[in-house]
Amino acid sequence: MGQACGCIQVEQSKVAIREHFGKYNAVLDPGCHCLPWCLGYKVSGILSLRVQQLDIRCETKTKDNVFVNVVASIQYRALAEKAADAYYKLSNTKAQIQAYVFDVIRASVPKLSLDAAFEQKNEIAKAVEDELEKAMSAYGFEIVQTLIVDIEPDTNVKRAMNEINAAARQRVAASERAEGDKILQIKRAEGEAESKYLSGVGIARQRQAIVDGLRDSVLGFSENVPGTSAKDVMDMVLLTQYFDTMKEIGASSKSSSVFIPHGPGAVKDIASQIRDGLLQGNSAIQH
């Protein structure tokens, strides 16, 4: 705005309030206007028509007694056709808007739990906007937009909420790990059972083959050497295996075997024990 020789210039997006001897006279639009100050005319003030933003932080509590800071962003502007009301009726526009915002937020949020307050931010903003629009239109202001930009619980509450969330996730992770360990143990047990089963089958077949081989050897020897019994052949075979085993042990330089004194006569007892064991094993396999 400029003034010289009784002329005034009003800038774009603004209006000037003209008074005549202290009484409201007119609203001057953007441009150049004649203002004969000598006749009692003067500009009382300039009113901006641009959209303005007011950020308000309101502390309140929720239905579950959690104190929160609700941050609201109010966008408003003065109406050109009601510029006189906007200029004269309110001495502090921002304080008036803040009072209405506090009133609506502190009436709405205590009815909601903390989770519901986060979920219903848009409903809270709509309630604030409706109340402001109804109240501020009488003063020449338009509410362009109302936003609830943040809801901040107390620091201790946020820490507790994070701990609850972390504990829940840890329970899920522990359950998944336990399920994985269970599956691994089941598969390992199944593998061991299968391995033992196959090992048992192999041992059984090995013993069966040994018994079959000994039977064939005894039968063949008895047929080729008249006068020998099966017992004589078995004793000879076991005695031969006994001496072969002693030979292999004696030939090894790294052997750590301990020999107990005994005579060849003990071979008879050893033969009886081995023969009885083989016969019992063969009987168990056949059954």
C-alpha–C-alpha distance, residues 80 and 84, integer Å:
9
C-alpha–C-alpha distance, residues 124 and 105, integer Å:
7
* Segment (H or E) for 203: helix 155-224
SS (H, E, C) the chain: CEEECCEEEECCCEEEEEEECCEEEEEECCEEEECCHHHCEEEEEEEECCCEEEEEEEEEECCCCCEEEEEEEEEEEECHHHHHHHHHCCCCHHHHHHHHHHHHHHHHHHHCCHHHHHHCHHHHHHHHHHHHHHHHHHHCEEEEEEEEEEEEECHHHHHHHHHHHHHHHHHHHHHHHHHHHHHHHHHHHHHHHHHHHHHHHHHHHHHHHHHHHHHHHHHHHHHHCCCCCHHHHHHHHHHHHHHHHHHHHHHCCCCCCCCCCCCCCHHHHHHHHHHHHHHHHHHHHHC
**CB of 70 closer than 8 Å to CB of 60:** yes
Residue 77: the pLDDT is: 92
Residue 152: the pLDDT is: 86
Q: Is 118 exposed, middle or buried (0-12, 13-18, 19+ CB in 10 A)?
A: middle
C-alpha–C-alpha distance, residues 210 and 241, integer Å:
13
What is the distance between the terminal CA atoms of the chain, rounded to a whole angstrom? 118
Residue 278: the pLDDT is: 53
> What's at 129, amino acid-wise?
E
Q: What is the dihedral of CA 193, 199, 204, 207, to 10 degrees?
A: -160
| Model confidence, pTM | 0.53
Residue 281: the pLDDT is: 52
Residue 2: the pLDDT is: 46
Residue 1: the pLDDT is: 47
CA angle 25/31/37 to nearest 5° reads: 45
Neighbours of 275 (CB within 10 A): 17
Helix (H, G, I), strand (E, B) or coil at 60: strand
Q: What is the pLDDT of residues 61-97, one digit of tens each?
A: 888 888 889 999 999 999 988 888 888 888 888 898 9
Cite the beta strand spans of 129-230 per DSSP E.
Answer: 141-153
Mean pLDDT by 10 residues, the chain (287 residues): 66 88 86 82 88 91 87 92 88 88 90 87 90 88 90 78 75 84 87 86 80 71 67 68 71 61 57 60 53
C-alpha–C-alpha distance, residues 284 and 281, integer Å:
5
Residue 252: the pLDDT is: 67
* Strand pairing class (41-48; 141-153): unpaired
